[in-house]
Chains A and B, each alone.
Chain A
Amino acid sequence: MSHAYRAVGWNRQKRIYDGVLLAGVALYLAVFLGAGAALRPEATAETLLIRGFGTAALLLLHVVLSIGPLARLDRRFLPLLYNRRHLGVTMFTLALAHGAFGVVQFHSQGELNPLVSVLVSGGSRGSAAGFPFQPLGLAALAILFLMAATSHDFWLANLTPPVWKSLHMLVYPAYALIVLHVALGVLQDETNPLLAALLGLGAVWVLGLHLAAGRRERAGDRETAGAAAAAGDGGFVEVCRVGDIPEKRARIACLGGERVAVFRYDGKVSALSNVCQHQNGPLGEGRILDGCVTCPWHGFQYDPATGASPPPFTERVPTFRVRLDGDRVLVHPAPNPPGTRVEPAVIGAPAGGTP
């Protein structure tokens, strides 16, 4: 391992985030258990706990899965993204409690090993209605465990962000397994149509958000129009006009198959990779704070001219050569090695754009 472990760095925002999260979970469980005991007096405490933890985990999973696309569609949701991993770990803990109570309640009194019992008992794999739903939940729990166990930045740094992100995209199969676990499990007996409607609405909400955000992202992945005519400008591609870039913000272009963030700041223009080295967040959707490009997801910062994080941090992203031709902003699509200094193009300077 090349990256040492460092404990979570707590700050005020994380404490508030986690405080609200834990209070919300405690409130939900209290209301669920209280209302359950009052409305269904015949239900045992074990049943209420199993269902309380299970529904809390399912609800939280919907929240976790909604934050990403919501933040893509509306910047106001970005603060929720900041500490999303703590939501995920909390959700896993609730799911684990649900599973543990279920195993103790239904599988611990027999001769079989309880986990073996979960895998082999009940149902019929030959029919939809009788399909054993518990192995689906167990498989989902295994995925959630893998994600929770690797959620720390230690694993993010050592696995590299693309591998880490690939691993954490397993949350989608886990979500599908959980929805089927519910549909083939409790909804086989609880025939109140409201419960089925809530499950369906949740799936429509999550998948609808992801489809909408994906559609928007696909538009951003279209190669910038000037790319085809690049040869005439010495390989440089026109990405936009200077006036198209708000001050201390960026315009994102797709060059050579990847996104490039072109920042305007203090009368200058610089271009660097749109991909943050921390968690591959979209740098071009951030802004320049204290002279540094600041990632909108977790606040990682880079010098716009060098692509390097200010000391003592060591993250680096590729930079791109920039030229101004009058009002036209031209970027060369070949990335420089991460951390390579590129002189910013100066707005209003003579042709060429560099001082």
Chain B
Amino acid sequence: MPLVKGGNIAGDAFVQVADDAEISADGAVLVSAARLLADPEALLRRAGPTGVVWPNNHDVALLAPWLSRLAAVALVFPSFRDGRAYSQARRLRERFGFSGELRATGQVLRDQFAFMLRAGFDAFEVKKQSDAEAFAAAAKRYSVFYQPTGDGRVTALHRRTQLRHSESAGL
């Protein structure tokens, strides 16, 4: 399954480890929510970066105490029709200020890339190779946006305000 990061197909620095598997001191790992919560200090003390795979029915507020030390949070789309992780992503970015990698996993398809980018995802485990290759084009599909999210894109309301200001400045 190709990983898209920074807009391009990239190698995955993280290794997803099973709950009973041993973890090296300096490797980049993705662990389950249960494993992280069982002993977060031990995991986060390691030299290597730690990320967590967070299910879409767990409140992301539970992660708040560890977010500044987590390198990645992987959210899950069991089906592309299950949109819970969009809310989790926005809460992580906008409410809790998470600045690490926010990864979309599960049924991640081309037609959802734009939504995911806007919700704050910056890494994508894409289901189909052809979709991963089309990432850059899909990400540019829209040039205007109605809603403000934490992604910093200029929204319609902002753009209209700017237009009003430039008009009144021109008077």
A binds B: no
